[in-house]
Structure 1
Amino acid sequence: MIRNILRFLNSFFSSFLNRSSTINNEPVNRVSLIVIILVDIFILVNVFTGLYDISRWHLSPLESYPCHQEWANYQGSTASNKNYEFANQAIIINTSQQQQYRQSYLYVQENHLGQVAEECLIYADIKDQVNSSENKQITIEINGKYADIYKLEDFNRTIKSQYDSSLLEKIAQQPQTKSINQITAEKAKQQLEQNQKQISKLNQQISILKTELLAKPEVIEFINLLNDSSKFKDLESGYDRANFWYPSIQIGLQSLFLLPLIAIAVLINNYSSRKGFGLVSLISWHLLVIFLIPLLLKIFEFLQIGIIFKFISDVIQVLFGELLFLISYVYIFIIPLVGFLIIKFFQKVTGNQKGKIITRVQKFQCIRCAKKIRSQDLHCPYCGFEQHVTCENCQTATYKFLPYCNHCGYRQVS
């Protein structure tokens, strides 16, 4: 079995290289081959660009549920002041727009598939109410008082750092006019106490302003929504569902982009091969390979993260518990098998079809490698492929893969 697979792969890759570098079985000169490879690279880059663009056509889970992460952060937070922190985050000081959150959520829907979750639109409406001009003013006052506290604390640190040198200046009876310190040793303690009282007063004022902000009806509604575990569970369920289906949607859109290109390349390649248009056949073959490379990569990527991965992991969890490393063993066997089947399929689609075989027989070419041979040759002297098969009716050698015996006309089993 393994020997047959290796023989098949060797034959496939030999045929692949031959088809990729010859025109009507004549080798392509190096300059032409370099030009073709450069064109291949250019097209491949554009194909991946197109795949990236079309994969973003549908809204991602984060775009469909833009409020999920923030809501999840609140539900998971254990901070004592989280109500104020999240209300404060909803207030944007540097803009006067009252509908910014809803507009920003809906903006991603333009020219895209999918919709923003209704739960997040409700969430955005309440945040826009919190982001009112009155609440902005309260936040500005709080921030201003925090800035004053920072200045006072910085001044206190300066006084403490200069106290020792000012004390030495006092002992040395140095005049104040020649002092390098901002304040004398006698006034340092008094100034520190005064600053500390001012800091305490500012903290009290900040506490009053925070209480005032949290008492606003729209803020209360916002905090109640963040605390609503049942609504968050519904949101989480929708987000998980979107995460589950998103890879499938992406592979579907990417296939929608690639499959027409692959079909066109196959049709042109088959037609040009039958008609003997060597250069067209070579170029269409290169295009077909270019279109297949990203498709295969996306298929393997989907196998790793898509529905199939979820199904396999669920089965393993049911059968073997938490031994999820067994998924790697499964994929080690599945992915090569999938690759083998894909190669086999496309070899049949673009490989030695009967029309090509008829043309090669008529031109005295090898059925497999298309090299020139003599009519009496039983095997190809270049690739060793046997050219004939015994007719079941007259027991005479006739050409392989052709529908009828060239001696008695008996229909051959393909």
Structure 2
Amino acid sequence: MLRKIQSFISLFFTKSRNINNEPVNKVSLTVIIIIDLFILFNVFAGLDDISRWYLSPSQAYPCYSQWQNYQQDTRVDRDFLIVSEALNKVYNSPENYEESPEGHLGKVSPICINFTTLKDNINKPNNKLIFTTIEDKQKQVTSLEEKNQTIRNQYDSTLLEKIAGQPSNLSINQVEAQKARQELDKNNLNINSLQKEIKDLKQQLLATPESVNFISFLNSEIKFNEVKQGYEKALFWYPSIQIIFQLLFLLPLIFISLFVHKLSIKKGYGLISLMSWHLLVIFFIPLLIKIFEFLQIGVIFKFFFDIITVIFGGLLFLINYLYIFLIPAIGFGIIKFFQQIVFNPKNQASKRVEKSRCLNCGKKIQRDHHHCPHCGYSQYVECHNCQSLTYKLMPYCYHCGTVQNENEQ
């Protein structure tokens, strides 16, 4: 196994730096690397774009987070707070919800569209006027509370000055106790009055037909559970959908590069062979990254997670053990793929023998040439059965038909 990996790595770098077994000059190699980086950047950009083609769970169920926050909110005025959001326009309009699928696959939840329509209906002129009045009165309350705090601070400073024996004519505060008390009482009366008015206005706002319909809709457990289940299901399948679209983007590029690479080797087009090889590597890099990402968050991870949770309870670190063995197995499969398809010298040798080409560099030679005049590679090996010379890398001796030992090839 180790020998195969070393051979694979050696062959990888040889193919990445040579044209017809001749090293590429530094300038050309630099140009190729720059092209590789440019293509790699665009591949990742394309993968990012295509991964967004299908609507994400938050796009398909845009009302879920707001609705969930409302359900979990334990504050007394939660109804007013969510109605005020509608009047403050801090949410997406239903038109935006309906337009979001354009240019994408998937659809927005009809319940969420209904959710936003009801919320949008609240934003009527009379409701807006009530809300604006509430805001103005709340600002007045805040202003009066700030004044009271200032008076209390000044009054406390005056008391400290008296305790310290500071003459009144030298005091930095001109607040007398009786005057401060009167001012505080007056402000507190105004605050209480304003707060009562605010409370009445809030009740008036929540009693409007638009608010009643929206709050009633929010308190429907059946509809919320339907949205919740749809969101969780979309969240579960979304990584799988993304990897499928990303594979649809990458696999054609990989197969085209592989086809061009094998064809260029067959035809002896050295530069095209090198360029297509670099492209093949470039396309495999994001493929491997996306597969590993999927193994960490996708359906397979959830499948293993559920099995280990059921069998071993809280021993979730066993998932890491599983991946430690799984990832090398995937890497082994990738190496075998390259050895059997991309780097398989026997497949190339069979076609080159038929066309009287060098088994190593693929250039045209005479059948009686024992060594290639272009690269010096020996074309023949002695058969271990009849001791006659037969082609290297071929499975049988063409004199006696004996199976050739692979180690002698």
Percent identity reads: 49
The normalised TM-score by structure 2 is: 0.86
SS of the equivalent of 1:91 reads helix
What CA distance in whole angstroms lies between the structure 2 residues aligned with 1:79 and 1:180? 43
What CA distance in whole angstroms lies between the structure 2 residues aligned with 1:411 and 1:352? 18
1:75 to 71, 74, 83: 71
Conserved 8 A contact 1:388-1:397: yes
Please state if 1:23 is matched with 2:19: yes
Aligned counterpart, 2:61:
65
* Bigger Cα displacement from structure 2, 308-317 vs 202-211: 308-317
Instruction: Please tell me the residue identity of whatever aligns with 2:28.
Output: S
* Bigger Cα displacement from structure 2, 216-225 vs 13-22: 216-225
- Could you tell me which runs of 5 or more consecutive residues in structure 2 were left unpaired when the two chains were aligned: 363-368
Aligned counterpart, 1:345:
337
Shift of 1:389: 6.3
5 Å-filtered alignment, 1:126-275, equals: 126-164=118-156, 172=167, 174=169, 186-275=178-267
CA distance 1:388–1:327, shift in 2 (3 Å):
farther
C-alpha distance after superposition, 1:137-185 (max 9, x if no partner) = 111111111100111111111122222566769x8464xxx99657655
Shift of 1:132: 2.0
Conserved 8 A contact 1:102-1:124: yes
Aligned counterpart, 1:47:
43
Conserved 8 A contact 2:383-2:404: no
Aligned counterpart, 1:84:
80
Instruction: Please tell me the residue identity of whatever aligns with 2:240.
Output: S
Conserved 8 A contact 1:316-1:327: yes
Shift of 1:302: 1.0
What CA distance in whole angstroms lies between the structure 1 residues aligned with 2:310 and 2:391? 54
CA RMSD of aligned residues (A): 3.2
C-alpha distance after superposition, 1:61-110 (max 9, x if no partner) = 0110111111111112222221221222222269xxxx962012223212
The normalised TM-score by structure 1 is: 0.85
What CA distance in whole angstroms lies between the structure 2 residues aligned with 1:241 and 1:183? 66
Conserved 8 A contact 1:166-1:181: yes
CA distance 1:93–1:327, shift in 2 (3 Å):
closer
Please state if 1:402 is matched with 2:394: yes
5 Å-filtered alignment, 1:272-283, equals: 272-283=264-275
What CA distance in whole angstroms lies between the structure 2 residues aligned with 1:208 and 1:389? 104
Instruction: Please tell me the residue identity of whatever aligns with 1:323.
Output: L
- Could you tell me which runs of 5 or more consecutive residues in structure 1 were left unpaired when the two chains were aligned: 369-373
SS of the equivalent of 2:101 reads coil
SS of the equivalent of 2:55 reads coil
